[in-house]
Each structure stands twice: as structure tokens, then as C-alpha cells.
Amino acid sequence: MKIQIQSQRVRLRIDENELANLLAGEAVESRTRMGDLGELVYLLRLHAAAEASVVGTLSATEFHLPRQDIVALQARLPCRDGLSFDIPAPLQDLQLQFDVDVRDSVRQRGVQRRGAGEVVKAV
């Protein structure tokens, strides 16, 4: 999982293997050791709730995404368009962007030709 943080926006990008693990009910995890300062831990999980949420602390953060939205995204892969969520209180003004690495999806799934209904396998 790749994480980008800028201002009030957090972007989470995963690959196809991490997506499969996520849909199988597992958490996707990213850890960064900061020497004597400790460690930053980010977990991504799916939940039945209709909206995304964030829990934890700055050093151990867990992102919860709505399962139905991720399943719908999986059905249209590969695509460049991800999902965007506005996180409710108490984290007002935080936007969460989620996507699946499009290059990895093309390698795994092939290229979907728009309107043709056929999948062309990438070489």
C-alpha cells in the first residue's frame, strides 16, 4: 500500500494482490520505522458501513472503507478513476482518495476496450 498525505488529503493506492487480500477480509498494512521515534502503522480494512472512517492515532491509523464501494470499483478495473470519500466528524475537511494501481491492473487483467466488450491481454 502506498500512502500520500498532503494538506487535508490522504491517498491510498493498493495493487491487485492487496485488493484480493482486502476483499478476502484481511487488512492491508503499511509500516514505516522511524528509528528511535517509533513506527508509523497504517491499516486498511473493509466494513459494511456506507461511509469511510478513520480511527486511531497519528502513529497507528486505521482506515475503514465501505465494502460495497470497493466491490463496485473492482468490477470496473482496470481504470484510472478511484474513489473519493469525505471523512465525517471529528475529522472534518479530511478527504480520502482510494485507488488500485492501474498499471498493475492492466498487467493482471488486460486492457478493457470501451464499447467493444472484449478484454485484450497486455503483453
57, 56, 47: which is closest to 25 by C-alpha? Answer: 47
Q: What is the mean pLDDT of the chain?
A: 88
Distance CA 53, CA 89 (A): 9
The reported pTM is 0.83
What is the pLDDT averaged over residues 100-119? 70
Question: For strand 111-112 and strand 119-120, is the pairing parallel, antiparallel, or unpaired?
Answer: antiparallel
Quick one: pLDDT at residue 123? Answer: 45
pLDDT confidence bin for 58, thresholds 50/70/90:
confident
Distance CA 115, CA 118 (A): 8
